Amino acid sequence: MIVVMKSGAKKSDVQNVLTLIKRLKLKPHLSAGVERTIIGIIGDERLFKKEQFSMLPGVENVIPVLKPYKLASRDFKKENSVIDVAGVKIGADELVVIAGPCSVETKEQLLRTAKLVKKAGAHLMRGGAYKPRTSPYAFQGLGKEGLKYLAAARRETGLGIVTEVMESQDVELVAEYADMLQVGARNMQNTKLLRSLGKIRKPILLKRNFSATLSEFLMSAEYILSGGNEQVVLCERGIRTFVEYTRNTFDLNIIPVIKQLSHLPILADPSHATGRQDIVIPMSRAAIAAGADGLIVEVHTNPAQAFSDGDQSLTPPMFAEMMKEVKAVASAIGRTLV
Ligand code: PEP
Ligand code: MN
C-alpha cells in the first residue's frame, strides 16, 4: 500500500502516518519528493484497512500495490533510480559500459585489459575472482588473490571494480575490494546471499537467472531492497530456450517492460546472452536501442587462451569498435555515451 500525502501536508501529518505504520508492526518506506511525500507500507496488508490511513489528516490518497514486488516497483517510486558506482552513475541519460575479462587470470592480463578497455571508453571494469563454473574441474577463480589484482588494476587505471560474490560468507571480503558486487545468474534466488547483500551499503549488480520470470527477477531485487540496500542494478544476460545456435536467448523484451514496471536501472550482457564473439557487437547495439542503461561485456586480449568464456570475449580492438557503434545508437535514441 502507498500513502500519498497532499502537497501541503505538514511534517506532523507525515509523522502521524509513520507512527500508525509502526504501531501496526509494519515497515514504512519514506520517499520525500519535491512535490509531495509518498510513504510505502511494507508488510502483510491483511493487518490493516485502507481507511485507517486515508482518513488521517494530510493524506490525499491510499493506493494498493497489487504487484508482489513493492520497493522495486514503479508505483512506489516514479523517478528512475540512479546508482552511483565509484562516481559512475548508472541509470541516468549517459550510458555506462562495464568491460573486462570473464575471469581474473593473472595480474598482467588484468592490468593490460583494464588499460585497453579504459582507453576505448569503458567506465568500470569487470573480472571474476570467484567463478561459478558448470564443471567442478574447470578453473574456479583466484579468490582473494584475484580481488587483490582487481584492486591493483583500479589503482593503475582509476576504473571502479565490478566482481561476483557467490556466497554470503564472502560478502564482507568481496565488499572490501569491489565497488559493485555482482550476483551471478545461478545465484539470483540464493536468498541467503541476497539477504546478506541487503545489509551492506554497496551497489549490487543482480543478474537474471536463465529461467527466471520477470516477477521472480524483481522479487530477488526486492530481497536486497527490503534489507535496506537501495543500490540495485538489474542485468539481462539471456535465458534458456530451445535454440542451439546461441548459448542463451537474449530476452531484450524484458528491458522496456522492466522500465515500465520498475524504477531500477537495467544493464544488458550480450556476452553471456549470445555466447558468440561474432554477434556481441550487433546485440550490444540492439540492447541499447531497446533502452538498456548500459552494457557489461567480456573482453580478453587473447580469447583463444582465456580461462573461461573465450568464445564470447571481444578482443580490445573489437571492443573499441563496439563502443563506436553503440555511441551512434545512443545518440539516435537521445542518450549519450561519453
Ligand atoms: C559472468 O559474468 O562471468 C557470469 C558468470 O555471468 P552469469 O552469472 O550471467 O552467467
Ligand atoms: Mn563469463
pLDDT tens per residue, range 216-228: 999 999 999 999 9
Nearest of 121, 17, 72 to residue 261 by alpha carbon? 72
pLDDT score at 44: 83
98 lines ligand 1 (CB under 6 A): no
pLDDT score at 110: 98
pLDDT score at 32: 81
Query: Which residues of the chain, if any, have pLDDT below 70?
Result: none
105, 133, 162, 237: residue to mutate for ligand 1 pocket, most atoms within 8 A of CB: 237
Kindly state the DSSP code that residue 18 receives in the 8-state scheme. H
240 lines ligand 1 (CB under 6 A): no
Pick the atom of ligand 1 nearest to 131's CA: 5
Q: Which residues pair with 120 in a beta bridge?
A: none
What domains appear along the chain, each with residue ranges and CATH number?
Answer: 2-63 (3.30.70.1140), 83-332 (3.20.20.70)
User: And the C-alpha cell for 91?
Assistant: 541509470
How far apart are alpha carbons 157 and 148 in whole angstroms?
14
Burial of 116-151, coded b for 16+ CB within 10 Å and e otherwise, reads bbbebbbbbbbbbbbbeeeeeeeebbbeeebbebbe
| Ligand 2: centre distance to CA 325 (Å) | 23
Burial of 238-256, coded b for 16+ CB within 10 Å and e otherwise, reads bbeeeeeebbbbbbbebbe
124 lines ligand 1 (CB under 6 A): no
141 lines ligand 1 (CB under 6 A): no
pLDDT score at 66: 81
pTM, 2 dp: 0.94
Signed CA dihedral, 302, 179, 206, 289: sign only? negative
For atom 4 of ligand 1, which residue has the closest CA?
A: 184
Identity (one letter) of the amino acid at 139? F
Give the count of alpha carbons within 13 A of 268, CB side only.
31
132 lines ligand 1 (CB under 6 A): yes
| Phi, psi dihedrals of residue 273, rounded to the nearest 5° | -65, -30
| Ligand 1: centre distance to CA 7 (Å) | 45
Burial of 298-331, coded b for 16+ CB within 10 Å and e otherwise, reads bbbeebeebbbbbbbbbebebbbebbeebbebbe
Count Cβ atoms below 10 Å from residue 35 Cβ, excluding itself: 8
pLDDT score at 47: 86
At a CB cut-off of 8 Å and minimum separation 6, what does 305 contact?
none
pLDDT score at 43: 84
How far apart are alpha carbons 282 and 325 in whole angstroms?
9
128 lines ligand 1 (CB under 6 A): yes
237, 208 Cβ separation under 8 angstroms: yes
283, 94 Cβ separation under 8 angstroms: no
Q: What is the dihedral of CA 198, 90, 88, 140, to 10 degrees?
A: 60
How far apart are alpha carbons 317 and 297 in whole angstroms?
13
Ligand nearest to the CA of 312: 2
185 lines ligand 1 (CB under 6 A): yes
